[in-house]
Amino acid sequence: MTLNRIPAYIEVVTHGDDPPVTGSVTAVEADGVVGTAIRRGYRVEPTEHGVLVLRRPTARIVVELRPVCRPAPTRSQAQDLSLLAGHRSAHLRARPEGLLITAGIARIPPAAARRLLGRGWVGCLTVQDGEPVSVSVAGRVALALRQHRTRSTHPRGWHFAADNPHGPQVVGRDRHGGRLYDGSSRAVCSCGWSQFAERRPQAAHAARQHRLDSVIAALSP
Ligand SMILES: [Zn+2]
């Protein structure tokens, strides 16, 4: 039996004014830390770099989980993670060509399986034939960050009112030579979500918030 000791996160625990204690945790251990924190009512604050900050304000405990690998799965890794996320019974299988992952009739070949395990995106207690595997918190965060890539659109700025017969028309005294200023922007996400804002900084803020909310939603499937 080979225990899976692959680190998924560097864990930094700060208790009150004591100096922080740093260690590494596996994907399965991180799943336990996050699950317990959520059950105990900790606030979970993700960052856009996949760091998870777990806070319990009353007890002044802060647990910070910093991913060992950049949470940037490739397209095929994202497909594999999505496939596994939808399966309750994925397992490691020892085959002559190496250790692969099976999920129903689907299989993830050894090289790809090894990379998912190596990045901590898929967790398992031991690395052996028949061991159950599942998408870890680190994997869900990485997948959510990939599925929710956001941006804010460039405002139109100054333009001639006559260019847009449906837009607001110049009324009263025209001080800008028939031109209007449009500073509005739209927050858009690769998932299809979008939101209008009067100004670009607001759109950028809404876009960032949508991305982080998507990560939080992915933590409690
Ligand atoms: Zn989105």
pTM of this prediction? Answer: 0.89
CA of 123 to the centre of ligand 1 (A): 25
pLDDT at 165: 62
Q: What protein residues have CB closer than 5 angstroms to ion ligand 1?
A: 148, 189, 191, 193
Question: Letter for the amino acid at 45?
Answer: E
Q: Distance (Å, rounded) from C-alpha 56 to C-alpha 52? A: 13
Q: Distance (Å, rounded) from C-alpha 161 to C-alpha 97? A: 67
* Mean pLDDT per 10-residue interval, the chain, length 221 residues: 92 94 97 94 94 90 96 97 92 94 95 97 95 97 97 90 63 68 93 96 97 93 62
CA of 95 to the centre of ligand 1 (A): 38
Phi, psi of 60 (to 5 degrees): 55, 40
CA of 150 to the centre of ligand 1 (A): 7
CB 217 within 8 A of CB 44: no
CA of 188 to the centre of ligand 1 (A): 8
CA of 147 to the centre of ligand 1 (A): 6
CA of 214 to the centre of ligand 1 (A): 7
H helix and E strand count, the chain: 5, 15
Structure tokens at 218: 């992915």
Question: Letter for the amino acid at 30?
Answer: A
pLDDT at 94: 95
Helix, strand or coil, per DSSP, at residue 132: strand
pLDDT at 52: 98
pLDDT at 194: 97
